[in-house]
Chain A
Amino acid sequence: MGTLLLRRLLYSIPVLLVASFLMFWMVRTTFDPTARLRVSRDPAVIEEERERLGLNDSIFTQYRVWLGDFIRGDWGESSRTRQPVSEVIPQAFGNTLQLIVWGVLISALIAIGIGVYSALKQYSAGDYVFTGLTYVGISMPPFWFALIAIHFLAVAPQDWFGLSSPPVKFVGLHDVGSSGLNWDYLQHLILPVLTLSVQLMASWTRFQRSSTLDVLSSDYIRTARAKGVPRGRVIVRHAMRNSLIPLVTVIAVDAGLLFGGLIITETIFSIPGMGRLFFQSLLQGDVVVLEAWMLVVAIFILLFNLFADLAYGILDPRIRVQ
């Protein structure tokens, strides 16, 4: 196991380096950090600033310098807020992490429940209903779901029931002056978590259904039943344990992708997380934040992919042997 981990890590480093260089190149050559000086200052000042920022060096030199600083923990300063990026990103990261943890947890539990149910009652009315719903969930753009959900769960109920404030909130994670795990937090959390869960739930449910069906048709399940093991015990002890293995890896990969994929949810619900940070930095050409953001997100996606590979190896002994 240790050597496998080591080998995979060593493989990942060049991939990560090349990916981070490409992203760095793209951001550096797209935005001009001196654009804001252009209106009021004379060319000499701009030239001096470019020299100071090292923008006249070759892109490789720029990348080397930037990567060196990044590894040493000097991530630069946001041109938008003048805060050090090494503080901005962890802050935003914390908020995003809350969404991801709740979203993944709830989606996984529901997906496992419905997936196993659908597989056990294959071709029943319930199975058809749930399969239809997963189809819809996968085919729906999440941002559209968010807009419709805001309307029907937050805005419209105020008119229907004559409420003074929306039953669920859709701005931020807390009301002003409130913090911690409380009712207010829950009210804010419902809509964003629902939004990011719809697609996850739908695709994981389909996955869990088919992997349960695979396991249920295997010989050792029939053997267990033939030996006289009760049906419930066969499902929980024999079938579910094995059918969860593929889902674990899918969850890990998808969770990694979420770090870059919350741009929509956080923008719509004004949650100061990684996605919104990216969006705002992009709109204002905040190069320093964008560069660090890209690398941090790529590292997380990579780590979760690695975790998925390793988890598969640990959970499924047949893979380990190879």
Chain B
Amino acid sequence: MEYIQQHWAILVIMVIYTVFCLGIGQWFKKRAARSVDDFYVAKRTIPGWAIALAFFSTFISTNTYIGQAGYSFRAGLSWVWVGVFWTFFCMISWLVMGPRMRSQTAKLKSLTIPDYFDFRYKSSYSRAIRIFSAVIILFATVWYMVAIAKGCAHLLQSTLQIPYAWGAFLIVFITTLYSVMGGMYSVLWTDAVQGAIMFVVALIMIAIPFAFVGGWEPVMQSITYTTHVSARGAPIGDGLVIFCALVSFLYITSIGLSVGMKQISEPRCLIRFYSVDNAKSMKFAMIATPILLGVSLICVFSVGALVHGMATPQEAAYLVKNTDEVIGFMLAKMNNPWITGVCMAGLFAAGMSSLASVILIVGTAFIGDIWNLVRPLSQQQMVSYTKWLMWLYSAIVVAITIYPPAGIVELTAFSGAVFAAGFFPAVYGGLYWRWGTGTGAFWSMVIGIVATVGWRLFVRFSVPGMRDYHEIFAGFIVSIVAYVVISLLSQGDRPSEEHLDHVFHTNQAK
């Protein structure tokens, strides 16, 4: 009873939120079960505003709202520069990839990123690319899901005193349940609602330090010169507001590129383009998504630095070494159950929207791109098997989350680099370069991933002074060069001109 009295506001908001997500899943249950096209890509019938919100909520996760937001406590306001990179890649994703991806995938009747490679390149390597890329998705995704489930479980533990293992189980179970019920329909519509909640929460988060301290002037005064100490123990002084006084620009660039580039290469982001209903919606989403992302990132990336205005020197000395606790500290210090409840809903929305997207991607990659190739399935079997696979994969994720390996955050960032190096040249080349071949796409994936892994194992942490040179740089450049050179050397592997005319929509223009 005392527990309910203490947490009732947060519990009410969380219960409403959970019931709403499950309600959406139930609403779309019948429609999603009609065909593979419905379950995998929502029959390409989702309006632009919903896709914009869904793209935003899928790309941003709990890690951004807790980890990155807290990190600016240590790095100062210069940390906002990471947001510049992320916003830039959001623009590139929608301007360069969006419309073409939507057109080509509809023409090719593609339902997943791996089957796009197969249908677009139509070469002797097509099946190999499809299976290889599906395997990459299966292996790289598990770490990302574990990191999100771990973050959410810790959050439930610290705010509602739910044991860690139960928290991990609950968050994965609820997300998988509504994703399995409504397929891409429920994933996209819950993502859209979660995106709206996250946007509002970003605005609330930035307002908290100002409300607590008493307005703009006192907060800015307190961070312009502070007696708090940095992570190295030296006084920060004016470091919070001086460019790169507390963090190197190379490190900002590394995080900016390795995470930002996920928007142009990760299946969970690219698959969003498949479901846009028409050109008008596409145009709307091309404008709205960078606005949603940009405004949220300004708030989220600067809030940590502003929290210095709320902390005593002793509290700051602890937080600067434990930046993941900065947002929790801010909410506890504000001590308003309704604000905490709404922010908690936003943080869970950030985690669940990313989890739901990748659970579906994993299910479609294994059943649609591996099982169905080896042993062809009927439409109903594909939908049903995909659902079972989603449950199985989620169970594995929960098991790993309960006993997480060391360095899970690093593994997550690494999986982003693997996607950028492995997928980007094959996707971009497929969309824009008629001369791109399946041989080039396959070997660029292999070489890009080998370069990424090699740089990490033998250069970044072994050669002095290379720590801030993220593996994304090497992997990305090498895979693009490999795609261009090998494609030009393997022109015999090009699909027929009729096929290319169909893909590039050039037959009507002739």
Asked if A and B bind, the verdict is: no
State the B residues within 8 Å of A (CB).
Answer: none
State the A residues within 8 Å of B (CB).
Answer: none
